Structure 1
């Protein structure tokens, strides 16, 4: 709904360095407040106090805490670009290392405080801008994975597009789940088992 989307839009787009720094202070403060107090108790007053600005100044940038959380999730997604994908060695015998790089990148990108990660996953309201950011992230990541699978000589799957979608879904979903509650499985064990599973699938092991 357009009215709901307007509730989630930042009120002010920074055009000066000081304004951008203030916006970043608000987002950083909100991340700490949500992680420490939870979303229900993470009020805009607490965020403003943590950012050391007045509540009026906060409202110049964001209309409510829903808009702040939506921006935190979009920032999380935008910072999750796989920048090292083009530098991987795709020579024969490197498939396991390639898969490990993909899994490790997903783990590193979800290294936020577990409580904050759970809040972003469970509480962030879905605005049009956020949905577009999620879709763009998915398409860009999918293109990278498809390209790697198509060029790697050790990959033996029936359909590259389907394999790329399956791997993305498997890695992203399981990484989100683990990093939101890292007590369930040691991260090192999770990484090893997921790398082994995906590598065997891509090799066509039966």
Structure 2
């Protein structure tokens, strides 16, 4: 483990219920602080104050704000990984809709926080590895879909896989995390239509 990686590691993993609750309070407070103040102004002092604990108590769990932000991003990726749809969906449009909707739901809870996580969170080797695993898993699902679904007409399924995965992840993040609001229902319909037409054209 590199020195930079160690900076992003929690100091300890709670084994008692009380300690786990304190850790959760820190993470909830940090999410609020980062969303409201951004990365630069999201100090550990502000996080401790929001969590209503002493700064010393916070440092018992996390060595710095980068470690807290990194853990929040890990949690975001874990949530995304558990929301993938299954291949049993009969309609290609239904499958694409499930993919798009899962991405939207995972992004819309707190778009301001998400912007900080994606654009400003430090990148440790462990975090980069987790992101890579998530992207590989999602790509494998799409690749299997394109290779087996009877409605798919694209010939180059490898390129199509990359286009679908990247389009859903990047467009949903860009639109949902943007400061100006959008009609989420209309956005979902248009993105589903765009991808479905591309795959069946």
Calculate the TM-score normalised by the size of structure 1. 0.90
Q: Helix, strand or coil: the match of 1:80?
A: helix
1:25 alignment counterpart = 25
Q: In 2, are the aligned partners of 1:10 and 1:67 still within 8 Å (CA)?
A: yes
* Alignment RMSD: 1.8
Q: Helix, strand or coil: the match of 2:162?
A: helix
Calculate the TM-score normalised by the size of structure 2. 0.92
1:152 alignment counterpart = 149
State the aligned residue count. Answer: 201
Q: In 1, are the aligned partners of 2:48 and 2:58 still within 8 Å (CA)?
A: yes
Structure-2 separation of matches of 1:178 and 1:202: 22
1:114 alignment counterpart = 111
Q: Summarize the alignment of residues 89-104 of structure 1 with structure 2, pairs less than 5 Å apart.
A: 89-90=89-90, 94-104=91-101
1:196 alignment counterpart = 193
Q: In 2, are the aligned partners of 1:85 and 1:144 still within 8 Å (CA)?
A: no
Q: Helix, strand or coil: the match of 2:80?
A: coil
Q: Helix, strand or coil: the match of 1:85?
A: coil
Structure 1 residue runs of 5 or longer lacking an equivalent are none
Structure-2 separation of matches of 1:182 and 1:87: 34
**1:83-141 CA-partner distances (Å, limit 9, x unpaired):** 45126422xxx111211111111101101322111111121000111111101111111
Q: In 2, are the aligned partners of 1:114 and 1:181 still within 8 Å (CA)?
A: yes
Q: Helix, strand or coil: the match of 1:126?
A: coil
2:123 alignment counterpart = 126
Q: 1:175 aligned to 157, 172, 176, which one?
A: 172
Divergent runs of 4+, >6 A: none
Structure 2 residue runs of 5 or longer lacking an equivalent are none
Structure-1 separation of matches of 2:181 and 2:52: 36
Q: In 2, are the aligned partners of 1:82 and 1:141 still within 8 Å (CA)?
A: no
Structure-1 separation of matches of 2:95 and 2:154: 16
1:14 alignment counterpart = 14
Q: Helix, strand or coil: the match of 1:125?
A: coil
Once structures 1 and 2 are overlaid, which stretch shifts more, 132-141 or 186-195?
186-195
Structure-2 separation of matches of 1:158 and 1:82: 30
1:78 alignment counterpart = 78
Q: In 2, are the aligned partners of 1:82 and 1:105 still within 8 Å (CA)?
A: no
Shift of 1:180: 1.1
Once structures 1 and 2 are overlaid, which stretch shifts more, 67-76 or 174-183?
174-183
